[in-house]
Chains A and B, each alone.
Chain A
Amino acid sequence: MSISRTLLTTATALALMAGAAQAETVRIALVAKALGIGFFEAANKGAEEAAAELGDVEIIYTGPTDTTAEGQIEVINSLIAQRVDAIAVSANDTDALVPTLRRAMDRGITVISWDSGVAPEGRAMHLNPSSAPLIGNTIIKLAADHLPDGGQVAVLSATTTSTNQNIWIEEMTKVMGDYPGIEVVATVYGDDLADKSYREAQGLMQSHPDLKAIIAPTSVGIVAAAQAVTDAGKVGEVNVTGLGLPSEMAGHVKSGASESFAIWNPIDLGYSATMIAHALATEGATAEPGATIPIGRMGEVTLDENGEAAMADPFTYDAGNIDEFSSVF
């Protein structure tokens, strides 16, 4: 009896201490793959935005000077020593960080990974920027949005064996019924080589004179296709879209070869990672399969059986926002 009383007292005391801690500032560490990379600087911007929204949060943005697991382990060790409340890490290595992160979790620190994941035993959950079904839907939607009357589109992929691209194209095919009037006339492979992608894009325009859009879900392909369209004098006739990086696509968006394209938004990603870390560290949200965690303006995420969640549709970049992001990543 007395033992359980003692336990109860201790538990109450702990709960009180936790309550006291909650009233203070929650310190969330955002660990980048390396400092000085535009993508992560932008994620930090999102984290600060989330912190301002939440009110009682301090963001510690940190990371090694180069993209090594050793550097990240050092950084995380120092964060453990500082007794931060949560660590959100984009990992340089899936497995190497696990022992250190486990130690952090043993000390009561909430650990999540985002962008680049850690093995399940080293984190409470992982936040993916998007998911295959969302990407598959986005790439066809990007083309369809600029084709109100429908038309022919073609896919310029990476290699025939690229797992990611094949899954995205498969997911795209599943939702084709939602886009009546859009007809995928060909899927060709540029092997992620600039010259082959360029040639394949030329071939598409030759063999399908009525082609309205080329969807390239690969950063080499989308740039090469945009250049091929420009050189063929078909800007305005053939819209190049898909997945690319703003810094690489800026010129082609301005020239009109590409109306819009998509990729994750690092600001939203940093924002969501912070929201999740805060929810897990303070509000009693639990990271278990099937759990739903609210992420402020981004809605909510649901964890799958591997403890992973997908944030949102890839973010669309067009002439309106390309300048803002082309300097970021």
Chain B
Amino acid sequence: MEKYLYIALFAPLVSSLFSALFTATPKKQFVGIVASFLIFSAFVSSYILLGHIMDGGEPIHVEMMTWMATGNLYIPFGFVVDQISVTMMMVVTLVSTIVHIYSIGYMDHDKGFNRFFAWLSAFVFSMMILVMSDNYAGLFIGWEGVGLCSWGLIGFWFHKDIATWAANEAFIMNRIADLGMLIGLFLVYWNTGTLQYEGAFAAFAQLDTATLTWIGIFLFIGAMGKSAQFPLHTWLADAMEGPTPVSALIHAATMVTAGVYLVIRSNELYSLIPHVGLFIASLGAFVALFAASMALVNRDMKRIIAYSTLSQLGYMFAAAGLGAYWVALFHLMAHAFFKALLFLGAGNVMHAMHDELDPFKMGGLKKVMKWTWIMMTIASLALAGIFPFAGFFSKDTILEAAFAEHHMVIYGVLLFTAGLTAFYSFRLVALIFHGEERYKIFGIHPHEAYRFMLIAMSPLLILAMIAGVFQAPFFEMVEEILGAAEYHIHSHVTLWIMLVGTQIFVGLAILYAYKKYGTWSSVPDGSSKMENSFIYKLLYNQYYIPYAYEEYIVKPYNEISEILWTKVDQKIVDASVDGIAGFFYSAGENTRDMQSGNLSTMLKWMVAGIIILLSLAVVFGLAARYSGEIMAILSGLGV
């Protein structure tokens, strides 16, 4: 079985290195094919490992080699395939296989075709390290690796200023959070003496609550950055500047869920500190609502889906914070399927519309893009949580968990957000695929994506439809490691009311969205009454948070930097260093005339030097000899 572990881990690395060989050459179709094949082999290996674990096999634990061994510190390159990591491996390899194949079509005309695959596979490799590592240090390496690859892929079209800006924003925001994570790791090591999960979890039970709370908080700060939770959320929407397959893989299905994975992985820590868990759950619920509200009015297709991702991450954190770790992991998996599908569908639309992102400029596309329409509709149904699609099983369980744990505020917020989710998802679908064909004004002739791209997407389509049936086997698999908390509402009547009520509520939201936007016929120009209302402006400008960051953090920071640069750096640091160098330089410049080359002059200088040195020797000799007397005279003078 170890063999499969190594294939799953290193096939993406091989793929990345192989593609990297061709980065300087023009597009080569086989690079994409080889990369996809290698990622697919990682997927097959993961699938075999999943079979092994599901059959009740022991978790596979290997120590490839020693990484650091100094004094008491021992960190190996160790990898573990257990119930949690195998789930993540399946999600990562499956979605990335599909995205790789899809990208062959999507990046067809791009000059950076080969480079794209090098980055994308490098990302998969980093993500595999992140989820498979058996210690926090390895997780951190993967964590930084995915951050780096995310930076490279958001800024893939580096000739666009906005793309590089977004890439840097994502990278810097993650650095801020990673500092928190790093402090968390130091605290873990400091207090337990190890970074191995097993050893650290075993030692957590003996620590006092205050220490555990700090560890939990700092690790969660890291998770907040990676999973774009408030207040570090702005980078995710801006990250949509990257190519759409990247958004599907990194900013929907895998990397952004790494924060959730961290919390789930550290469940033994967080179950010891339920008050931090409650904070996580509250923040998650808040972000769910907060992000969904921004998605309501946005006019950028990819940003709407990005806010939806943010909102769903909030759901996952809400579940994980309440101790329902397996529910969070299940929602993570289901969400990866339908959200990746939604993004890839959006990619098809973007291609058809020549990179137009405003859904108000589309409309009526279902005639020309039948399959994309079907896929995005089903993905949206799954996202909205309509029975019997994937989202119903995962999201309703989160609602049930909140209800069963008697956190009614969280439950209420999540329930309301479910309605908003349905509304904005179908607002998007209705605007893109229904109503009048507004794109004709702009002279665009849309066309369906390549057939093989659609076929590549079909596994996601099927999974978005049927992932619910995996709930029971999934629960059986992970209950050993994540706790057997099944969330049953005591009374059946209550349960049914909840289920049916939620469905009706969500269904009404969908109908309302169709009614309002299904027959839309014009492109808004900012003159309507709604567009001028305060709430619309507030939501459309993302609560003015990016503006506030710009105004109150970036600009003051820039000004302080400017002052430090011109005043401190240039006037003090540089000036003193340059001054010293300048002194010696000018001293040399002024004394070079001595080197006239005339022996006679040189001899005169030599004699002068000897006399000076001799007289110094005499003076110091005398001073040393009569030091007692000199001291006496000086003290007499009162020095």
Asked if A pairs with B, the answer is: no
Report B's interface with A, CB cutoff 8 A.
Answer: none
